[in-house]
Structure 1
Amino acid sequence: MTVTNTPQPTGITLHNASRVLDISFDDGASFSLPYEYLRVYSPSAEVQGHGKGQETLQLGKRLVGLSGLEPVGNYAVQPTFSDGHNSGLYTWSYLYKLGAEQATLWQDYLDRLSAAGYPGDSGRDAKADMTIKQSSGHVHGPGCGHQH
C-alpha cells in the first residue's frame, strides 16, 4: 500500500456556463479553477516543453471550454478542452498546487502575456483585436458606453 501526503479530492464539479472547475480535498481545501487557467497551465509537454524555459505561452484561451473529463486511475484526471487539447494529465497534487498558488501563477501568466506583446485581457489575441477595430471602427466591451 502506498502512503501519500497529497490531499485527495472529495468532489469535482464542472460549471460549463461559467467555465469553472470546483474541486474540494479531504484536508478541507477547495478551489475554483477557471478552464482558461487549467488550459494555460496544462502539464502536457505541448505546453510545458521538456524542461525549464521551454514552456509555450498559450494565447487566445479566454473562452476555452471543457468537453470532457476522464479519470485516470486513482491519481489524476484528463480533460478534453474545446480547442481539442487533451494531452495533459492533471494529478491530484498538480490540481492542489494550481489551487493553492492560483493568484501567483495567474499573475505570472498575465505578466508573460504582457511581455510577449499581448497586454490586457487574458488570452486576447492582439491580431483579432486589430481586425475588429479595422472592420467596425470600435471594439465593444465593458465600459464602452454602448448598450450590449
Structure 2
Amino acid sequence: MTAMQRTFQRVHTAVGAPRLTRFSLNAPKYVEVEFATGNVYILSAEYLRILSPAADGKMRSIGGEKVIFGRRHVGIMSTEPIGNYGVRIVFDDLHKTGIYTWDYLYHLGSNKFSLMRNYIKTLKKHGLSRDPSRRK
C-alpha cells in the first residue's frame, strides 16, 4: 500500500463517507455513482469538469476567484481507475489531470444543487457563460 493510499484510507475512515458500490460511465454525457447508503447520483460531464479537483490552465482568475466557463457541451471520453480510491476522467476538451476520489464524488452528489447554483451565480457576476465562446 502506498503512502497516498494509506493517507486516503485514514481520511476515508475518519470522515466516515459511505462506500462506493457502483460507478457507471454513460459517455459522453454523465457518470452515475451509487453508495452503500443507497444514494445514487447522476453527475453531468459539465458539472464534473467545472468542479475538477485539478488546477487547470483553462481556468480564468477573476478577482481572486477561479472560474471555468464555456463547458456546457463538454463530454467525457473515458475514465481510468486510480487505485481503489478514485477515477481519472478524460474530457473531450483534453482535460485529464483531476483525480475524483469516491469521497469527492459523494460530496459533489450530495451538494449538487447548491454547488451548481453558486457556479451559475459566479458566472453571472463576472459576465461569463456556460456556453462555449464562438470561434471567429
Matched, 1:7 2:48: no
- Cα separation, partners in 2 of 1:55 and 1:78, compared to 1, 3 Å: farther
Q: Distance in 1 between matches of 2:44 and 2:76?
A: 10
Instruction: Compare 71-80 and 5-14 and name the one that shifted more.
Output: 5-14
How far apart, in 2, do the equivalents of 1:75 and 1:54 lie?
31
Of the two structures, which has the highest relative contact order with CA contacts closer than 8 Å and spacing of 6 or more? 2
Pick one of 110, 114, 131 that aligns with 1:124: 131
With normalisation by structure 2, the TM-score equals 0.79
Matching residue of 1:29? 39
Spell out, residue by residue over 1:24-58, the C-alpha distance to the aligned partner (whole angstroms, 9 max, x if none). Answer: 011111101011000000000227x9xxx855211
CA contact (8 A) 1:22 1:32 kept: yes
Any unmatched runs of 5+ in structure 1? Answer: 132-148
Measure, in 2, the Cα distance between the counterparts of 1:8 and 1:55: 32
Distance 1:82 1:128 in 2: 17
**How much is the aligned-residue C-alpha RMSD, in angstroms?**
2.4
Whichever structure has more strand as a proportion of its residues is 2
Query: Which residue identity lines up with residue 36 of structure 1 in the other structure?
Result: E
Which residue of 1 is the match for residue 54 of structure 2?
44
TM-score (norm. length: structure 1): 0.73
Report what 1:139 is aligned to. Answer: none
How far off is 1:16 after superposition? Answer: 2.2
Indicate the percent of aligned positions where both proteins have the same amino acid.
Answer: 35
The residue type paired with residue 92 of structure 1 is W
Asked if residue 75 in structure 1 is aligned to residue 81 in structure 2, the reply is no
Q: Runs of at least 4 residues of structure 1 off by over 2 A? A: 53-56
Match of 1:100 in 2: 110
Give the gaps of 5 or more residues in structure 2. 1-5
Do the aligned partners of 1:35 and 1:66 also contact (CA within 8 Å) in 2? yes
- Does the alignment pair 1:85 with 2:92? no
